Amino acid sequence: MTESTEIREATLAEIALVFLKLGTIAFGGPPAHLAMMEEEFVRRRRWITEADFLDRLATANLIPGPNSTEVAIFVGHLKRGWRGLLVAGCCFIIPAASIVLAIAWAYVRFGSLPQVEGILAAIKPAVVAIVIQALLKLGRTGVKTIPLALIAVLAASLSLMRMGPVLVLAVAGFASASVWAAKTRRGRARGLGTGIGIPPAMAGLHKSFGITKASSALTAVAVAALAFPVSLTRLFLSFLKIGAVMFGSGYVLLAFLQTEFVERLHWLTEKQLLDSVAVGQFTPGPLSATATFIGYIVAGWKGAVVATVGIFLPGFVLVALSGPLLPRLRRSAVLAATLDGVVAGSLALMAVVAWQLGQASIVDWKTALIFGVSLVALLRFRVNSAWLIAAAAVVGWGMR
């Protein structure tokens, strides 16, 4: 008996409830978030095909901002238009921001963070297993030919050699487009060519430049923050600038925060900055909710709201602009080939993150056992990743 592959509709209420749940339980950073979203939306609810999910993941990697949050916004936009975009994004962000706000209040009041080392030590190996499960499933769709597999290996190698993620994806996309062009030329030489379709491709590229222009405009507006004194306006514009230009992992976010709030504005100490990033690591939802913590330290609850809106706003704008372009990109053969390469590169970046996280988190027999049990539970028994994270947290509570 085969499973139905029919794509199901979703109401705004369903979108809100699912993303509120994910925003509350999605520990482990973007790779874990994406793995949970794939399980929730592709496999369980069938709201989106694997191919569409991978296209949106690839696009999220190409635009600034938190990748997993942008994929959430993409899914909401696909299902219910601009209303779904707002509901999905806000419901994914609000639980994490609320938890971080409560921790920030306690931090300001008591001057320290809760002791969560044991919980983190147990959750991280489970997260590695979740990411591996997602890679195995997504890889069947995203790396479906030998050239794409070779491009994924190339992208992983470049990432391990410390090349920036945007440049890695650009190389992967160019390599895939070059393979397509070579096949087309060979087909033409045999009298079987079909034409490259340059005008649609150039039109798609021209329209896609709107994303870059929008990002540049947001950055230009944010740079005007230099003229403002320390205020809620300056806080908002600082985080707007970061959200509009930030690519890559949480470590990239740390570099932006260090430059802006420690070195330039002197609003935070080094210890406060490290504590804020630690909060983002051990709370669920997007790591960029770190902005909520910093905003509260700097300017109370108003600062928390302003900082949160500032860092996530560019993602909403860029997804709204880029979402309608995806079907057009797929209709152009050369741009579709480029996007296939970016998809393969995105999966390679996820694999590299999983490898690095595994090296850092699987450090003794206890964490190795948690990883092994988690992987078996996911692959053999198809345990829901949310329950797996909860079980790992309980185990971690007793480890210290």
Return the residue matching tokens 């696909």: 78
Q: What percent of the chain has pLDDT over 90?
A: 40
Q: Residue 227 falls within a domain, yes or no? A: yes
Identify the DSSP state of 41.
I
Helix (H) or strand (E) holding 310: helix 290-322
pLDDT of residue 398: 79
Find, among 173, 198, 170, the residue nearest to 184 by Cα.
198
Once rounded to an integer, what is the mean pLDDT over residues 348-374?
88
Indicate the range of 19-23, 197-201, 369-373 predicted with least confidence. Answer: 197-201
Contacts for 269 with CB less than 8 Å, ≥ 6 apart? 262
Residue of 298 and 123 predicted with greater confidence: 298
* Angle in degrees, CA 311, 238, 302, rounded to 5: 70
Query: Which residue range(s) make up the domain with 235?
Result: 12-383
78-84: long-range contacts (C-beta < 8 A, 24 or more apart)? 78/47, 78/48, 78/52, 78/323, 79/9, 79/10, 79/15, 79/47, 79/48, 80/10, 80/11, 80/12, 80/15, 82/320, 83/12, 84/10, 84/12, 84/15
> Which span out of 102-106, 161-165, 325-329 was modeled with the highest average pLDDT?
102-106
Once rounded to an integer, what is the mean pLDDT over residues 96-107?
92
Total domains present in the chain: 1
Q: Residue 389 falls within a domain, yes or no? A: no
Q: Residue 241 falls within a domain, yes or no? A: yes
Buried b (16+ CB within 10 A) or exposed e, 324-333: ebbeebbebb
Q: What does the pLDDT look like over 174-184, one tens digit per residue? A: 999 999 999 88
pLDDT band at 289 (very low <50, low <70, confident <90, very high): confident
Q: Residue 203 falls within a domain, yes or no? A: yes
- Assess whether pLDDT exceeds 50 at residue 152: yes
Q: Residue 396 falls within a domain, yes or no? A: no
pLDDT band at 272 (very low <50, low <70, confident <90, very high): confident
Q: Residue 19 falls within a domain, yes or no? A: yes
Q: What does the pLDDT look like over 32-74, one tens digit per residue? A: 889 899 999 999 999 999 999 999 999 988 888 888 899 999 9
Q: Residue 391 falls within a domain, yes or no? A: no
Q: Are residues 29 and 277 in contact, defined by beta-carbon separation less than 8 angstroms?
A: no
Q: How far is CA 164 from CA 57, 171, 175, 182, 216, in A?
A: 17, 11, 17, 27, 19
Q: Residue 393 falls within a domain, yes or no? A: no
Q: Are residues 370 and 118 in contact, defined by beta-carbon separation less than 8 angstroms?
A: no
pLDDT of residue 117: 67
Indicate the range of 36-45, 114-123, 248-257, 319-328 predicted with least confidence. Answer: 248-257
